[in-house]
């Protein structure tokens, strides 16, 4: 099985070459301003991709996915994961768009228990964890060296221990690393200056 994974495309999706595969995963910030037009353009594009399974976890720019009425309009062939799981051919996926912060961004939650309550929902048997935020200290540094990942998410990973953790959010830290039994991927496609710099990640199982 081949997974094609990306994040932080910010309306550049039409300019990205998408490899063929079985599962297409977007880990958030598919839009930039989170408007209805941006969202619907992305969903048409995403829905039209040939991959058998398509998984979308929104990001902090994707405001339109916070509107309950709009969630009924998601194309049937897209699995939208907002604190929700999905089983595909024996693999367990879990997705959450929450990011730590107190600003006016989509899916923001205060650090501490407000965001921890979301991570507590993650089942222990999770093969692929898809979040928009990285955990603290793992592919979460901005250019100044400051780490912006989520401390509470890092703590819960000590219990969950997924095989793969996919995320984005911090453009500067795109890449992959393995820690213990988990392989981490920061899937950001754009760099900090919003330039298209990276390609989708291919994971072959």
Closest C-alpha to 28, from 101, 118, 124, 134: 134
Q: Which of 79, 95, 68 is nearest to 153 (CA)?
A: 95
pLDDT per residue as tens digits for the range 79-93: 999 999 999 999 999
Question: What is residue 68's predicted lDDT score, i.e. its pLDDT?
Answer: 77
Please give the pLDDT value at position 181: 94
Q: What is the pTM of this model?
A: 0.97
- What would the pLDDT profile of 179-205 be if each residue is shown by its tens digit? 999 999 999 999 999 999 999 999 999
The reported pLDDT for the residue numbered 103 is 78
Q: Which domains does the chain have, with CATH numbers?
A: 2-204 (3.60.21.10)
pLDDT value, residue 139? 98
- Please state, in angstroms and rounded to a whole number, the distance separating the CA atoms of residues 185 and 176: 4
Query: d(Cα 68, Cα 180) in Å, to the nearest integer?
Result: 38
**Parts of the chain with a pLDDT under 50:** none
Q: What is the C-alpha R_g of the chain?
A: 15
Terminal-to-terminal C-alpha distance of the chain: 5
Model pLDDT, residue 155: 96
**What pLDDT, on the 0 to 100 scale, is given for residue 177?**
98
Residue that the structure tokens 């006016």 belong to: 104
Residue 178 has a pLDDT of 96
Closest-CA residue to 127 (of 92, 83, 169): 92
- Check: CB of residue 21 under 8 Å from CB of residue 4: yes
The pLDDT value recorded for residue 69 is 77
């Amino acid at each position: 099985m081949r997974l094609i994974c990306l994040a932080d495309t910010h309306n550049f999706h039409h300019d990205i070459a998408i490899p063929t595969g079985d599962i297409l995963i977007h880990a958030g910030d598919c839009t930039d301003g989170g408007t209805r037009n941006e969202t619907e353009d992305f969903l048409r594009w995403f829905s039209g991709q040939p991959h058998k399974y398509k998984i979308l976890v929104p990001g902090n720019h994707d405001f339109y996915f916070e509107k309950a009425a709009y969630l009924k309009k998601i194309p049937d062939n897209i699995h939208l994961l907002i604190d929700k799981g999905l089983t595909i051919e024996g693999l367990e996926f879990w997705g959450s768009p929450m990011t730590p912060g107190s600003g006016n961004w989509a899916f923001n939650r205060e650090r501490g228990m407000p965001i921890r309550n979301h991570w507590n929902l993650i089942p222990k048997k999770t093969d692929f964890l898809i979040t928009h935020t990285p955990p603290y200290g793992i592919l979460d540094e901005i250019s100044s060296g400051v780490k912006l990942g989520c401390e509470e998410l890092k703590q819960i990973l000590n219990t969950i221990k997924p095989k793969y953790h996919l995320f984005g959010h911090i453009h500067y830290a795109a890449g992959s690393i393995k820690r213990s039994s988990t392989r981490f991927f920061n899937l950001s496609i754009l760099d900090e200056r919003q330039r298209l710099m990276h390609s989708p990640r291919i994971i072959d199982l």
